[in-house]
Copies of this chain bind each other. A is one copy, B any other.
């Protein structure tokens, strides 16, 4: 099954919703305009469609395997990764100073989507390297960065994020891996890390593990965790590789999906201790890790959009080819392609609208990130940072939850064939299931949304966004086409529900935490749905303008239709969620524990 990057939709978002022209005005972004976006995306499409996509099914059929400590990737992955690094894709968004291309997230996010749509198992390798690079950029010393960054940015070496231990999953306070200071300023690391994605492989010369561990004598809990670099191979002063470090992959997991990406158990220090290098200051590891996790969380949200897009494309193809039954409206003389059946259209439209809505939201958030990181105006930068941070848990949580509904619909469109593995759509269904779990489960995102992103500022950021939505509603009402009015109506209802819930969260998060957190995930789903729906409303407005100008009529009409569908069929879920959250908190926690 081939994949075609949705270039038009990506460029529409970049141009009209993310506002690439404004981003291009920012210092250092002069070359990051629409032309660059188009050129980069077209190149990325070629690479991902041509090189990574054909390996996706192979990765599911011949998973990466482990034997005697050696992890062997699915055939073809090594060559593909070589092409990937040679083309410079790893450095796309990283600083020019370290050999990257320094492109904005507004462009990079679309490239990330393509990689993940083409081959999610593969794309995890650069995604985690991105995390390691972010962590070093944030907190690494110049000496450490001089050794590691360039080679990570080039893709010559890859990176991992080593947080989880058997007893420490969502609860990183429980991390036990130890770091013993050595006289030379380095540390000996010892412990077991699990669920380490691409924690071992032979696709690159070296693997740079970013590891959470406790320095001897550190305080208990989250305030005693430090971050270390632990290379697979020691690095000599001249940058060449030395001896194998004391970190070994003792097994990989047998998983539901993303089977080509090895999920490793890494054993540190069984032979005297792995050499580790402190990143930043002692006991501030979690703080740094959160910076790199925020980047990764956005990236996982994009994975959701990516796999939803791929599932959608496959379902459309099947629905166009498969002949079964005459349409109910008699529009064909006999049995025809199932895409003629209203319920098949409903499924495909649901897949499409969710995907486009989440893509639009991620694009707008990427723009906020770029402004936050490049604007010379501190206030503007801070405002945008706040908006970006509010949106990250929505992008991570909502886009991944929706991806499971979308990939499930993808199987459903295929009927009985969907249940047969060779058809391929079941792989997307299985692969997507990890997305609501890793880099913080949906509940963890929702805690972040309720606590740090809503209650902490008394709901101010959320309500400022609601005010912006009101402006969009007003513009839709002024436009006054039936589609615009319908979208305005549903947006308004959703906004009122959203504000109610924001007030509820602000009022209860501290004083009545059980009630607030009982509704945390429904709030995330409500807010993600609403924010994505808002972007679809904005998209309708600009598509209408573009239509007036005669620009790409078919695309703009489809965008308006999809926005209308989103409002009618997805935004309509919002008021019910408000009722559950605000009126139904008590029944979530009422059952006695022994009655479960």
Spell out A's residues near B (CB within 8 Å).
164, 167, 169-171, 173-174, 194-195, 253-257, 316, 319-320, 323-325, 328-329, 335, 339-346, 348-349, 352, 404, 408, 411-412, 415-416, 418-422, 426, 429-430, 433-434, 436-438, 441-443, 446-447, 486, 513-514, 517-518, 520-522, 554, 557-558, 561-562, 564-565, 567-569, 572-577, 579-580, 583-584, 587-596
**Which chain B residues border A319 with CB–CB below 8 Å?**
596
Q: Are B558 and A517 in contact (CB under 8 A)?
A: no
**Which chain B residues border A253 with CB–CB below 8 Å?**
419-420
**Which chain B residues border A514 with CB–CB below 8 Å?**
328-329, 342
**Which chain B residues border A521 with CB–CB below 8 Å?**
343, 346
Task: Determine how close the nearest CB of chain B comes to the CB of A176; give it in whole angstroms.
Answer: 13
A408-B426 contact in complex given A324-B171, A349-B591, C-beta closer than 8 Å? no
Q: Are A591 and B256 in contact (CB under 8 A)?
A: no
**Which chain B residues border A591 with CB–CB below 8 Å?**
345, 349, 558, 561-562, 565
A170 to B349, CA, bound (A): 21
**Which chain B residues border A576 with CB–CB below 8 Å?**
572-576
**Which chain B residues border A557 with CB–CB below 8 Å?**
592, 595
**Which chain B residues border A418 with CB–CB below 8 Å?**
433, 437
Q: List 9 A-B contacts (CB under 8 A).
A: A169-B415, A173-B335, A255-B419, A342-B520, A411-B437, A412-B437, A558-B592, A565-B588, A575-B575
Given contacts A253-B420, A254-B421, 18 further A-B contacts (CB under 8 A): A169-B416, A173-B325, A254-B420, A256-B420, A328-B513, A345-B518, A349-B587, A411-B433, A411-B437, A426-B433, A429-B433, A557-B595, A558-B592, A558-B595, A561-B587, A561-B590, A565-B588, A568-B580
Q: Are B593 and A568 in contact (CB under 8 A)?
A: no
A37 to B441, CA, bound (A): 43
Q: Which of chain B's residues has its CB closest to A348's CB? A: B596
**Which chain B residues border A419 with CB–CB below 8 Å?**
253, 255-257, 433-434, 437
Q: Are B517 and A596 in contact (CB under 8 A)?
A: no
Q: Are A329 and B513 in contact (CB under 8 A)?
A: yes
Q: Are B437 and A416 in contact (CB under 8 A)?
A: yes
A422 to B580, CA, bound (A): 35
**Which chain B residues border A580 with CB–CB below 8 Å?**
568-569, 572
Task: Determine how close the nearest CB of chain B comes to the CB of A416; give it in whole angstroms.
Answer: 5
Q: Which of chain B's residues has its CB closest to A423's CB? A: B256
A354 to B360, CA, bound (A): 33
A256 to B408, CA, bound (A): 12
**Which chain B residues border A411 with CB–CB below 8 Å?**
256, 433, 437
A584-B596 contact in complex given A171-B325, A342-B514, C-beta closer than 8 Å? no
Task: Determine how close the nearest CB of chain B comes to the CB of A332; give it in whole angstroms.
Answer: 11
Task: Determine how close the nearest CB of chain B comes to the CB of A166; give it in whole angstroms.
Answer: 10
**Which chain B residues border A587 with CB–CB below 8 Å?**
349, 486, 561, 564-565, 567-569
**Which chain B residues border A588 with CB–CB below 8 Å?**
342, 345-346, 349, 565, 569
**Which chain B residues border A572 with CB–CB below 8 Å?**
576-577, 579-580, 584
7 closest cross-chain pairs (CB), A and B: A568-B584, A328-B513, A343-B443, A558-B595, A171-B325, A342-B518, A342-B517
A562 to B595, CA, bound (A): 10
**Which chain B residues border A412 with CB–CB below 8 Å?**
436-437, 441-442
Q: Which of chain B's residues has its CB closest to A515's CB? A: B342
Q: Are A415 and B437 in contact (CB under 8 A)?
A: yes
Q: Are B408 and A339 in contact (CB under 8 A)?
A: no
Q: Are A568 and B583 in contact (CB under 8 A)?
A: yes
Task: Determine how close the nearest CB of chain B comes to the CB of A150; give it in whole angstroms.
Answer: 33
Task: Determine how close the nearest CB of chain B comes to the CB of A424; give it in whole angstroms.
Answer: 11
**Which chain B residues border A564 with CB–CB below 8 Å?**
587, 590
Q: Are B565 and A595 in contact (CB under 8 A)?
A: no
A324 to B447, CA, bound (A): 15
Q: Are A517 and B343 in contact (CB under 8 A)?
A: yes
**Which chain B residues border A568 with CB–CB below 8 Å?**
579-580, 583-584, 587
A517 to B344, CA, bound (A): 10
Task: Determine how close the nearest CB of chain B comes to the CB of A184; give it in whole angstroms.
Answer: 36
Q: Choose from B324, B343, B422, B573 the contact partner of A573 (Cβ within 8 Å).
A: B573
Task: Determine how close the nearest CB of chain B comes to the CB of A556; give it in whole angstroms.
Answer: 11
Q: Which of chain B's residues has its CB closest to A416's CB? A: B195
Task: Determine how close the nearest CB of chain B comes to the CB of A338; give it in whole angstroms.
Answer: 8
- Of the listed residues A346, A411, A583, A594, the one surrounded by the most CB atoms of chain B closer than 10 A to its CB is A346
A194 to B421, CA, bound (A): 15
Task: Determine how close the nearest CB of chain B comes to the CB of A316; give it in whole angstroms.
Answer: 5
Task: Determine how close the nearest CB of chain B comes to the CB of A221; give it in whole angstroms.
Answer: 10
Task: Determine how close the nearest CB of chain B comes to the CB of A165; give it in whole angstroms.
Answer: 11
Q: Which of chain B's residues has its CB closest to A325's CB? A: B171
Q: Are A554 and B595 in contact (CB under 8 A)?
A: yes
**Which chain B residues border A256 with CB–CB below 8 Å?**
411, 419-421, 426, 429-430
Task: Determine how close the nearest CB of chain B comes to the CB of A523; give it in whole angstroms.
Answer: 11
